[in-house]
Structure 1
Amino acid sequence: MAVAVVASSCQKDLGGSPDSPVVPGAVPADFDWKTTRNVTVSVSTPVVEGATPPYAVIRIYSSPILSAENLAARGVAKSAMPFRSAFTLNAGTENLYVQTTLPDGTKSVKMVGAHGTVAVTGASMKAAAAPKMRLAANARVGSSMPDYPKMEAPDAASFDSKAVITAIESGKSYQLGASWAFYAAPEYLIPAGAEVAGKLDLNGGFSPYQAPILYVAGKLTLSSLNIGRAKLAVLPGGEVKIGTLKIQPSAADGAALYVFADGKLSVGKPNVSGKCIVNNGTLTVDGSLDMNNGLTVYNTATGVLTVTDEMKVSNSARIYNDGAVTVDDLKINSDGEFHNCENALLVVNDECELERSTAIYQRGRASIEEMTARGTIWVNCHTSVNELEAQGAEFNFSANAGLDAGRVEFNNTNVSMARGAIFTMEEYNADEKGGGNRFAFTGDADPRAVVLISEKAYTRKGHETYFSGAIEVVYDNDRDKDYTIRKDYLTDGAVMSASQTTIITENGCNGGKDPVNPDPEPEPDEYANVPGHTYTYCFEDNWPWLGDYDMNDVVIVSRIDRMTSKDGGKVSALTINWELRAAGTTYDIAGAVQMDKVQTSDVAGVVSSHEGFGSGAFASRGLDADSPCAVIPFFNRTEELLSASNTWKGQPAAAIRKHTTTVTFSQPVDIASVLDSEMNFFIAPKQRTSEIHMPGYAPTASGIIGKGSFLPSDPYKFFVTEGDQTKNNYMMWALMIPGEFRYPAEANDIRGVYEHFMAWASSNGAEHAEWYLESADAGRIY
């Protein structure tokens, strides 16, 4: 005998105990089949430098990707009126991202756990600062250049006249410092005005003066020079040209080669070891410069070092630059280090290679055409790299430092960023090769660090890049669906925006970038439209008997936009954006939604765009007047909307028609009464009384529950007491799935199509909460 279910309200408590023990490895009797949960949230007004603003606009996102489709709530917080609202979330959502915007447009984002009830304290913020003047490129600042050997320019008159060289005479020895030389002296001078060429020997180590010094104030030209324990000093105005220069590891303490300010040294083929070179003037290498064996080079604030080919820093050699260094190629290996100090400029015209166990300390400015890094790079000031590749490297950004790049390819590389640091690039891993990378924030999070990708970014399983902490990734996921950053890769408070919201003050070390000047944020109207989230409702049409579980007999996609009060608590109207995606049924089926917490009398009007509404289960496309709770029909027959089933692979598909149904309330209703979870979508095959709902939802006043294979406590869960079908116990006939779900093709059981579907169901929803986004058999999906 058929039994009509008559409810005294629009809700049904299906309670009670399970009718039968759980079948081992199958679906638990008490599994609710919900892919969502509800959250209630309150957000206090922020504190801005000790004061309270007149208002702050609150946006709450369900994802670290701060985009419109992830917006869960929006409104206003005031000193006497916290923002309070409620919304439905995907069950797998772990965190919420609360963005607070001041009237001047300044934004702050706070990550909080997505619990049932969330109370968010007001953000502590600063108003947008006025743009500062750009630092001059040549402004002098304190330098990390360490102490280095210094020499004083001697008084030319103090030299013994016999130690003054104005020419190299044939037949005389010029092994300086030796007793058999043309003259034995501790110091020699080529005076201003003199032009000397020939052969000199600065090997040193001879008696009586083992470490002589040659000062050059004039001009000296040598085809080759070997410096051992002696020293060469180029005085102001002096010019030295050497074809082949070799500095021995046995060089004396101090600088084996010392160029004073306004001195000039030009070398063709140097090979330098020794202990130290100091350049305060102009040092030009017309070819390659090989620095090794622990040599330290100091290019001071007045120094200009130019290498027309390759500079190689190896075997624990060090270079400290506080002036200007320009090279064609720079190669650092075997514990070599390059220290680009605060006032320095490094220009690499071609390629910079940084091997393992090496480091670049970039505290000044640097412009590099190509860099391949396997070592450690300290980005303390503005660095520009056109093409940047890193394998097993480490990048450490100090506060307010900036790195600008074109193409970036990282693999197994770690990036540490402090507050206000900014890393901009055009493409990130667009070659689809790299992975295992991590960008992490360190220190005080005011302001956030920024990673800005203007064109392409590639992150996938096997090609992961994780961003964690107070980092804003600026990237537009909608630009190219093949190049996206998934929300899974934004962790521990990292967020992503299509345009930069973090305000970083302009300074010389971030390249003098103009700071973000946010647009003012006006106070919203009393009611404003808040777009909702998309859900897919999948139905089996064989209730109350076992279905084939391809979940495509009726597929409806819906997004509900709400006119929400600015305090977040009320809704004056809503628009259901819906479309019928599939109809793999042979029955005449109607589709509708019941608002379980809204009375029919609360609805002032319903307007539907579906002009082709035909005859059938519902009298009209307006409000169903026979129901105590608000029931809104969508269609009476699927043929009104689809000319084909859209379930058979390989067969022509019917066009999808998008429709809207707008519901206006007589008086604003509580937002909790019109959450997505309170929308009871259902279908009615063959006749109005044979409704099919999701588990846990009640039929409408017109629905009749007769006999069938279902639980007495929940008519929308399959159940039999014996036979082969017991393995299907507690299955359902309808599901609500977040997003635009790719449903199975005809005759393909969802349990075999989506790899983790049964793990989710059998674990009572504890595992694989987002199974619909995980592994699936693509060949069996429509």
Structure 2
Amino acid sequence: MKPMFRVFSFTVLTSTLLFSSCVKDLYDPEVIAEKNPDAEIPVGFKFTTTKNVNLTVNVNDEYNGEKFYLVEVYNQNPLASNSKSKLLTAGVATGRAPFVEDIVVSQSDSVLYIKQTDPLQREVVKVLDVTSATTAVCDFSNYTFTTKSASSVAISTRAIPAPSEKATAYPLPNENQRTLLGSGAITLAANTKYYLPAGVTNNQITFEGGRNNIELYVEGSTTFSNTFSLTDGCKIIVLPKGKIVANAGLNWYGNDVVVAIHEGGSFNINSDASFGKNNKVINDGSLVTKNLIMDNNAKVINNGTFTTPNIQVTNNSVLENNNVFVVNELKGNSNTKLVNNGDLKATSISLTNTFTIDNNHHIEAAYLFFGGGGGTLNNNCFTVCDDLETEQGTLNSAPGSLLACKDFYGNNSTFTLKGNAIFSIGDVAAYSLPTSNKLTSGSNFNYNVVINGVIENSLKPLFYVKSGVIKNGWKPLSLGGFLDVAISPSYDANLLNNVAETVKLSKEPQTAIAETACNGSGATEDPGTGTPTNPSFPIKVETGNEYTFAMEDNWPALGDYDMNDFVFTIDKISYKKGNNNKLATLSFEITPVAAGATNRLALGVQFDKIASGSLSLVSSTDGIGTKENGQEKANLILFPDVYSTFGISSPGITNTDPSKTKYASKSYQFEVAFNNSVSESDINISNLNFYLIIGQNNDVNRKEVHLAGYKPTSKVKSDPLDYTDYNNMVWGLLIPTADFKYPIEALKIQDAYPNFLNWAKSGGSNNANWYLSPQSGKVYNK
């Protein structure tokens, strides 16, 4: 268990702590807070809302160190259209000299977005998890930009499986085993084989119910005008040049019925038909049906041409296409399967309840729907549709394959792309598909859509949104594994949920994939500007970092602990960097917000890593700032009189009491220069030691108030215990936002922010963003 200090009471301010009239100007070790058993704050906790991360970025150097890559670090996705991303830091790198900086982020920040811009001005973003990191490495070097068409990744055409069965497995029986038919009427008998020879037409053949094991071999022509039924073991074999037409209902309700159509033969069913109970249709010729239902382990093996307006596949049935299959509407459910080894063209394919498609060649559809119950597509080659809708769908794409659609809707669905597979959304005009009106134009990622990438043979897959409006719910899309993601249209910052560190985000594909029979037109790489160039040095880095400092002035007494004795913001932090990532200048802006104190106050800053002689003040608004002499480290007096920035001549409660006048204050800009170039790490917010000077600015031994853990300037001679008291309480807070709502006058910060105490007691582990949830009516909002 960590050692603890008892903290000052959060509920009662006792008279021993109210030193406003008798507190000493200097630290007095005899003036301490009383012990209180109500709460505990871990020893060493400095009330920090930020953390330092030592970041290394390895760029994907294609120029052998001769060109510089721009590296930018953001707190949110900079590629999103409405992102509120803030630039945290920036610099340059080569393969020989990575980008290395010690950056400061909010304790609640869990990820960083690292953007690499190469000499061709191509932008790529990776996400880096810094939830509990003190060091982090972002590596772009394992991603390859293809800059020459000759190095485009080619894929071979996937081998198509052989048909599981052919009609030739059902040859004409020997002459002594069959009964020859003429053109006369006949009712077929059970357990008998019949042969209708070539050149003979007989439209008076009757299958009578209840007669099993009838086999009819047709090389001539026959038409069934009345409803007929095939019972157990019956077979109809259409031999080459044979032709059968069924104009009435066809009901195959027996077990193990077989219909086999040889190459050159045809079977047209012009009325609704259904079959099941292990029945099987093998078509090597031409099969045309009206509405067809496959049920109870039925199987169709198409090795020829199969055309039907509507087909329903259900209850463990299998539809295998090895050649040409044209259908208006295909519906499947209940543990059934479509195996496509040929060309399948459909207006609508609707799959529910664990239906599986194994696609080894080409599927083209206007509308492809995976409904509830877990439909699966194993796409090993080419699947393209106008509209793709997935509800609890599982879609797996093999290396070299293409899954493409113009419009997309996804909900509770998972995509797994392997090797150099492509999943694209947007323009599919090149494929001349029939159009669908099932979905509105664009992409709609509704909820829990996951796209995972898997490397195979050193190749990574591509997820590419080419065009169309992107709609989304609240962070519905997660990207995992090794995956290149290119999203060209603008998209909302709340589109992406979890993004793996191995995912690469861009607006255009960064790797060319050559066109093959299985991937349509492949993927064209982003050419960039065509001519590699370096950034113009020095580069100006205008960060989005912004902070609020909230200070108490009664040190070493806690006073009312409202953290509003002086409140100011710092933002517009910018600097110029050379090609060695060293800084020559630094600019920042400070805005006084409130001064809820009656003491005379001045504001200073000490550059803890910069010697006094190494810094000069270039400029400040109205010349308000001065460099302070006689200091070991560089110090600036920013505001010699805090109240004057509000236009007030003497100390008094300012902008903390809602019942009193609010005073405006302008922003003050400061620019400093360094005699010797310094590292950004030396002047980040962690090394800018802001402090208050209480009372007169005494050069001999003045009273300063700093944040916990910071040392006073060399003009303070006494020991301030790192500006924490006996109970580990502090006199100042750094908040990583410029929109911090400070407590109203005399209201303790723990009362204005209900999560503050839990955060402090946990040593910062819990409620890290406590400052985003103020109590209504207890903070200054005037």
The two structures share one fold, judged by TM-score above 0.5: yes
Please give the alpha-carbon distance, in whole angstroms, between the structure 2 residues aligned to 1:668 and 1:297.
77
- Whether 1:629 aligns to 2:634 is yes
Please give the alpha-carbon distance, in whole angstroms, between the structure 1 residues aligned to 2:201 and 2:422.
52
Partner of 1:123: 141
The alignment partner of 1:534 has SS state of coil
Over 3 Å counting, the alpha-carbon distance change for 1:650 and 1:354 in structure 2 is: farther
Please give the alpha-carbon distance, in whole angstroms, between the structure 2 residues aligned to 1:163 and 1:659.
108
Over 3 Å counting, the alpha-carbon distance change for 1:543 and 1:53 in structure 2 is: same
- Whether 1:567 aligns to 2:572 is no
Partner of 1:275: 279
Please give the alpha-carbon distance, in whole angstroms, between the structure 2 residues aligned to 1:327 and 1:655.
73
Give, in angstroms, the shift of residue 320 of structure 1: 1.6
Deviates more, 1:692-701 or 1:147-156: 147-156
- Asked whether the equivalents of residues 454 and 461 of structure 2 are also in contact (C-alpha less than 8 Å), the reply is no
Partner of 1:285: 289
Give, in angstroms, the shift of residue 555 of structure 1: 4.1
- Whether 1:527 aligns to 2:546 is no
The alignment partner of 2:248 has SS state of strand
Partner of 1:693: 706
Give, in angstroms, the shift of residue 510 of structure 1: 4.8
The alignment partner of 2:411 has SS state of strand
Please give the alpha-carbon distance, in whole angstroms, between the structure 1 residues aligned to 2:367 and 2:478.
26
- Whether 1:746 aligns to 2:754 is no
Q: Unpaired segments of 5 or more residues in structure 2?
A: 1-22, 80-84, 426-441
After the TM superposition, which residues 129-528 of structure 1 pair with which residues of structure 2 at under 5 Å, given as runs?
130-131=148-149, 142-144=159-161, 146-151=163-168, 163=180, 167=183, 169=184, 172-175=185-188, 186-189=194-197, 191=199, 197=203, 200-201=206-207, 210-215=213-218, 218=221, 220=223, 222-228=225-231, 229-233=234-238, 235=240, 238=243, 240-252=245-257, 255-258=258-261, 260=263, 263=266, 265-273=268-276, 274-286=278-290, 288-300=291-303, 302-307=304-309, 309=310, 311-341=311-341, 343-349=342-348, 352-355=350-353, 357-363=354-360, 364-369=362-367, 371=369, 372-375=371-374, 376-384=376-384, 390-401=390-401, 402-404=403-405, 406-411=407-412, 413-424=413-424, 426-430=442-446, 434-435=447-448, 438-444=450-456, 446-447=459-460, 449-450=462-463, 452=465, 455-456=469-470, 458=472, 460=474, 466-472=478-484, 480=492, 483-486=494-497, 489-491=498-500, 493-495=501-503, 497=505, 499-500=507-508, 502-503=510-511, 505-507=513-515, 509-519=518-528, 522-528=533-539
Letter in 2 for 1:200: T
Give, in angstroms, the shift of residue 173 of structure 1: 1.9
Please give the alpha-carbon distance, in whole angstroms, between the structure 1 residues aligned to 2:565 and 2:262.
82
Over 3 Å counting, the alpha-carbon distance change for 1:242 and 1:31 in structure 2 is: same
Deviates more, 1:55-64 or 1:272-281: 55-64
Please give the alpha-carbon distance, in whole angstroms, between the structure 1 residues aligned to 2:471 and 2:363.
26
- Asked whether the equivalents of residues 28 and 762 of structure 1 are also in contact (C-alpha less than 8 Å), the reply is yes
Give, in angstroms, the shift of residue 677 of structure 1: 1.1
Over 3 Å counting, the alpha-carbon distance change for 1:340 and 1:758 in structure 2 is: farther
Partner of 1:87: 103
Give, in angstroms, the shift of residue 231 of structure 1: 1.0
Partner of 1:585: 596
Please give the alpha-carbon distance, in whole angstroms, between the structure 2 residues aligned to 1:63 and 1:477.
22
Over 3 Å counting, the alpha-carbon distance change for 1:743 and 1:334 in structure 2 is: same
The alignment partner of 2:686 has SS state of helix
The alignment partner of 2:760 has SS state of helix
- Asked whether the equivalents of residues 586 and 673 of structure 2 are also in contact (C-alpha less than 8 Å), the reply is yes
Cα deviation 1:348-392 (Å, max 9, x = unaligned): 43x61311x332223433435252242233233444456655454
- Asked whether the equivalents of residues 283 and 304 of structure 1 are also in contact (C-alpha less than 8 Å), the reply is yes
Please give the alpha-carbon distance, in whole angstroms, between the structure 1 residues aligned to 2:693 and 2:385.
63
Over 3 Å counting, the alpha-carbon distance change for 1:360 and 1:119 in structure 2 is: closer
Over 3 Å counting, the alpha-carbon distance change for 1:505 and 1:556 in structure 2 is: same
- Asked whether the equivalents of residues 251 and 273 of structure 2 are also in contact (C-alpha less than 8 Å), the reply is yes
Over 3 Å counting, the alpha-carbon distance change for 1:143 and 1:479 in structure 2 is: closer
Give, in angstroms, the shift of residue 195 of structure 1: 6.6
Please give the alpha-carbon distance, in whole angstroms, between the structure 2 residues aligned to 1:21 and 1:532.
43
Over 3 Å counting, the alpha-carbon distance change for 1:424 and 1:164 in structure 2 is: same
Count matched residues: 706
Cα deviation 1:277-312 (Å, max 9, x = unaligned): 1234443433x3211111111233x424332x4x22
Partner of 1:723: none
Please give the alpha-carbon distance, in whole angstroms, between the structure 1 residues aligned to 2:164 and 2:179.
35
Identity of aligned residues (%): 17
The alignment partner of 1:677 has SS state of helix
Q: What is the RMSD of the two structures over their aligned residues, measured on CA atoms?
A: 4.9
- Asked whether the equivalents of residues 535 and 736 of structure 1 are also in contact (C-alpha less than 8 Å), the reply is no
Normalised by the length of structure 2, the TM-score is 0.74
Give, in angstroms, the shift of residue 518 of structure 1: 4.2
Partner of 1:606: 618
Give, in angstroms, the shift of residue 549 of structure 1: 3.4
Q: Unpaired segments of 5 or more residues in structure 1?
A: 6-17, 614-618, 721-728
Give, in angstroms, the shift of residue 571 of structure 1: 0.9
Cα deviation 1:8-61 (Å, max 9, x = unaligned): xxxxxxxxxx9998966332342112233334455567687xx94644626364
Over 3 Å counting, the alpha-carbon distance change for 1:418 and 1:289 in structure 2 is: same
Give, in angstroms, the shift of residue 270 of structure 1: 0.9
Letter in 1 for 2:575: R
- Asked whether the equivalents of residues 374 and 390 of structure 1 are also in contact (C-alpha less than 8 Å), the reply is no
Give, in angstroms, the shift of residue 336 of structure 1: 0.9
Letter in 2 for 1:359: T
Over 3 Å counting, the alpha-carbon distance change for 1:154 and 1:145 in structure 2 is: closer
- Whether 1:680 aligns to 2:689 is yes
Over 3 Å counting, the alpha-carbon distance change for 1:442 and 1:141 in structure 2 is: closer
Normalised by the length of structure 1, the TM-score is 0.74
Partner of 2:17: none
- Asked whether the equivalents of residues 146 and 510 of structure 2 are also in contact (C-alpha less than 8 Å), the reply is no
Over 3 Å counting, the alpha-carbon distance change for 1:472 and 1:122 in structure 2 is: closer
- Asked whether the equivalents of residues 602 and 637 of structure 2 are also in contact (C-alpha less than 8 Å), the reply is no
Give, in angstroms, the shift of residue 668 of structure 1: 1.7
Cα deviation 1:538-595 (Å, max 9, x = unaligned): 3144433334436695241424223223333x11222325555x43736686655442
Cα deviation 1:423-449 (Å, max 9, x = unaligned): 45544444xxx45x5444444474255
Over 3 Å counting, the alpha-carbon distance change for 1:337 and 1:772 in structure 2 is: farther
Partner of 2:11: none
Partner of 1:14: none
Partner of 2:429: none
Give, in angstroms, the shift of residue 200 of structure 1: 3.5
Please give the alpha-carbon distance, in whole angstroms, between the structure 1 residues aligned to 2:317 and 2:55.
59
Give, in angstroms, the shift of residue 154 of structure 1: 8.1
Over 3 Å counting, the alpha-carbon distance change for 1:468 and 1:295 in structure 2 is: same
Over 3 Å counting, the alpha-carbon distance change for 1:162 and 1:419 in structure 2 is: closer
Please give the alpha-carbon distance, in whole angstroms, between the structure 2 residues aligned to 1:384 and 1:778.
54
